[in-house]
Amino acid sequence: MTDKQLLAPLAGWVLPLTAVPDPVFAEGMMGPGVAIDPTGDTLHAPCDARVQTLHAAGHAITLDLGDGVSLLVHIGIDTVRLGGSAFTPLVAPGDSVRAGDALIRFDLDAIVRQAASAVTPVLLVEGAATIAPIAGEGLIAVGAPLARISAATAEGGLADAAAGETLRRDATVLLPHGLHARPAARIVAAVRDSGAEVTLTAGDDSASATSPIALLSLGLAQGRAVTITARGGDAAGAIDAVVALLSAEVDAPPPAVAPPPAAAPSLEPGALPGVPAAPGVAIGRAVWLRPDIPELPTTGEGVTIERARLAEGIAAVTADLAATAGGGQIGGVLAAHRAILDDPDLRGRAEAGIANGMAAAAAMMTAAEAQGAQLRATGNARIAERADDIRDVALRVVHAILGTRAAAVSVPAGAIVLADDLLPSQFAALAAAQVAGFAVVGGGPTSHVAMLAAGLGVPMVVALGDALRVIADGTMLILDADAGAVVADPAPDRIAQAQTVIDRRAAAEAAARAAGDAPAATADGTAIHVYANLGSIADAEAAAAAGAEGCGLLRTEILFLDRAVAPDVAEQAADYRGVVAALPGRPVVIRLLDVGGDKPAPYLAIPPEENPALGLRGIRVSLARPEVLDTQLRAILAVPEIDRVRIMVPMVASVAELIAVRAALDRLRDELGIGPVPLGAMVETPAAAATADLIAAHADFLSIGSNDLTQYVLAMDRGNPAVASGIDGLHPAVLRLIGMTCDGAATRGVPVSVCGGLAADPLAAPILIGLGVRTLSVPPARVPATKALVGRLTLAAVRTHAAAATAAAGAAEVRALARQFAEEISR
Ligand code: PEP
Ligand code: MG
């Protein structure tokens, strides 16, 4: 082809591709190019071309420049999620366009507000050509010279590469996760720099190292043999680089699971240390779960056939999910899986794989791995955990396409299941098989499966690390998920001791359930309300059955977390009404949306933040987006039994936030003619705890979110497995702030509850009551046991105990004191 000049398709600021805030573009995985941060609202043709494809969401266009050369312009990052709302295409596939013609008009404000970034990559995605920027970094007008596209041979690179002898080397893939997107991109970059022409061959399949997608499509798992051939340029250097990249990750590996700090409660000798994810103790034989990834055909049988297969596979799994019953947490996971199947980005990637010649199953799996890699690259453990869900869903689609079945998870009842990682769909089958417990090499204490295990009362320990792998199938184990440890081959007297703990718990649980709806009170007659934390109508039903006296926390964001479009008043109102109706006669605390940080909501795209836990989250989001607050308050006020509803504000850091919410609430109440509705503040920031007296002056109640309070007081990310073992709400610093909160609230006569995880910890609850807390809000399954525990306490005893706990030197010492206290009250 003859050289072509590309004119700036947008007014804006020219940036190098490496500045694009998305590794898929920044690392050149989609192809080389430049980027523009736009200031205008129209995308123009950068040269004469034919419109090749136009994405259905209107945010991306490919242009055929002739001679097999294609250009992709992708307006903004993650803009596919806008569902086309911000884009008006002015051309259609097949149209011929002249340089400067308007192609797509877009709403820049909407992109800036709702997408990850407006930066627009302009990429060479196909063809034997190179692209070189002409314009330097800085402002550019539409139509100004931007870059030059030249035939690749004109640069001399490929011509050189074609010369010289062909070198060959055999190697083995040592990468633990096989050749996935990141090392593939690194290989492409290294080979490009060497100027050599490099091919990887595994079995009958070969891929040029110019294409990360081609490399991924080889489907190279750890242990696969590969032959690397290279010629031209620095062929020997290229082979060395490829072998090195097949052997080890260049990027920092995911954070290692740190061993528990020295200050952690001392475990018995020989116990494997991990992180508690769901409480309880279990005894059973080890059964390893092995991943069940079928052999994937890599080469497709043509785009039409493979697209149809993909569509059928997705439809089959969608129907399966729709037919699977599940309420509560399991219902939430099913909804999340449906949302993943609907994700246009995942489908788009799979379709792109098919367009590149892949078979549908391999394209789906590759797309899932690429999307998963992107999530893991955020470095946010909670977001990264979603990668497991995506992989799980993709595997189901693969089985549907291939007509294979995931090997049925057959585990004998009472077994302790060991796994590298657990997938939510495996978990549902395992729960039905009545396994005794879970021990996981990796995982996080806040993953979906950890929530599922806790909800069903199956103990789980995560982050046990490689040491778990030495345990063989059939080994007798004690899983102590209270201490976060696994004991292999325990002595008979140790087994007997664990059995006593299990029996005692089971008996106490049965007795507690028998107490039914009776309100909780200490042995000396002080009422302590035991409420439930809810995330769905099914949870509310479970809470009512468990005897909860009310709901102390409805996590409204959980109801709508996987939505692409913001829920309107009617949709929200229907859920709130359902929860309130499921708890007849009892108070229900509805928490305002708590998104941001570790709880991203796709429909409220919040631009990436360097420190999301310290960024736009909780009430800060609702105050920054008044229409979100307005919609939610209207939905809450639409609940017919509004006299039983209380509204709670998350992540309060200052009085002004509460005042702003009250003003919005009062305005709407006036408009709708509704009387007062109690408004409370969550105490989750050290600021709120330290100024509890000031906040209480404007609040009808305070509720301590101990999960967040602990992470902010100890400066430890609650979703990061590397520090999970150190995050303990029984740290005296956290307890002292809880004490300050109770004291501050008492000056205004305002009641204090705890709705974080600490309330459900039997070692913590007596201390909380001793500090002045009068309501504990716990998961529905923990309601009976918490009520029973309260009945064994006296105020005098818990006050003395709380004073000792706040004076202790650390969390381990507090836990030791609390264990001693627990033994005393159970005598
Ligand atoms: C908390 O932080 O303790 C809390 C209850 O809120 P969430 O866990 O939903 O952040
Ligand atoms: Mg919180």
Write the CATH number for 750: 3.20.20.60
Residue nearest to atom 6 of ligand 1 (CA): 705
Q: What is the pLDDT of residue 446?
A: 53
Q: What's the whole-model pTM score? A: 0.56
Domain end (from 134, 151, 168): 151
Cα 708 to averaged position of ligand 1 atoms, centre (Å): 6
Residues of the chain with pLDDT under 50: 153-162, 251-265
Cα 195 to averaged position of ligand 1 atoms, centre (Å): 53
Cα 453 to averaged position of ligand 1 atoms, centre (Å): 18
- Pair (425, 536) in one structural domain: no
Is there a domain that residue 495 lies in?
A: no
User: For 37-70, b where at least 16 C-beta lie within 10 A, e where not — what string?
Assistant: bbebbbbbbbbebbbbbbbebbbbbbbbbeeebb
Cα 684 to averaged position of ligand 1 atoms, centre (Å): 8
CA–CA dist 508, 511 (Å, integer): 5
Is there a domain that residue 259 lies in?
A: no
- Pair (138, 216) in one structural domain: no
CB of 397 closer than 8 Å to CB of 318: no
Instruction: Supply the range of the domain harboring residue 715.
Output: 502-826
Residue nearest to atom 1 of ligand 1 (CA): 705
Of 321, 319, 332, 775, which Cα lies nearest the Cα of 542? Answer: 332
448 is catalytic: yes
Q: What is the pLDDT of residue 101?
A: 94
- Pair (715, 821) in one structural domain: yes
Q: What is the pLDDT of residue 111?
A: 81
Is there a domain that residue 374 lies in?
A: yes
529 is catalytic: no
- Pair (427, 360) in one structural domain: no
Q: How many domains does the chain have?
A: 5
Kindly state if the Cβ of 535 falls inside 6 Å of ligand 1. no
Kindly state if the Cβ of 594 falls inside 6 Å of ligand 1. yes
Domain end (from 490, 513, 537): 490
Is there a domain that residue 253 lies in?
A: no
549-588 pLDDT per residue, tens: 999 999 998 787 656 688 999 999 999 999 999 999 999 9
- Name the residue of 539, 682, 782 to mutate for ligand 1: max ligand atoms within 8 A of Cβ: 682
Kindly state if the Cβ of 710 falls inside 6 Å of ligand 1. no
Kindly state if the Cβ of 482 falls inside 6 Å of ligand 1. no
- Pair (484, 530) in one structural domain: no
Active-site option among 74, 731, 755, 801: 755
- Pair (657, 629) in one structural domain: yes
CA–CA dist 5, 132 (Å, integer): 10
Kindly state if the Cβ of 555 falls inside 6 Å of ligand 1. yes
Is there a domain that residue 762 lies in?
A: yes
The CATH number that applies at residue 325 is 1.10.274.10
- Pair (817, 720) in one structural domain: yes
Of 481, 396, 476, which Cα lies nearest the Cα of 439? Answer: 481
* Residue 96, strand partner residues: 50
- Pair (121, 198) in one structural domain: no
Strands (E), 45-165: 49-54, 60-66, 69-74, 87-89, 96-97, 102-106, 120-126, 129-133, 138-140, 145-151
Atom of ligand 1 nearest to the CA of 708: 2
Active-site option among 180, 337, 399, 448: 448
CB of 35 closer than 8 Å to CB of 13: no
Q: What are the residues whose beta carbon lies below 5 Å from ligand 2 (ion)?
A: 684, 705, 708
Cα 756 to averaged position of ligand 1 atoms, centre (Å): 5
Q: Which ligand is nearest to the CA of 555?
A: 1
The CATH number that applies at residue 186 is 3.30.1340.10
- Name the residue of 594, 599, 711, 738 to mutate for ligand 1: max ligand atoms within 8 A of Cβ: 594
- Pair (459, 356) in one structural domain: no
State how far the alpha carbon of 114 is from the alpha carbons of 319, 341, 607, 657, in Å: 31, 22, 8, 23
CA–CA dist 135, 495 (Å, integer): 73
Kindly report the length of the chain. Answer: 827
Is there a domain that residue 260 lies in?
A: no
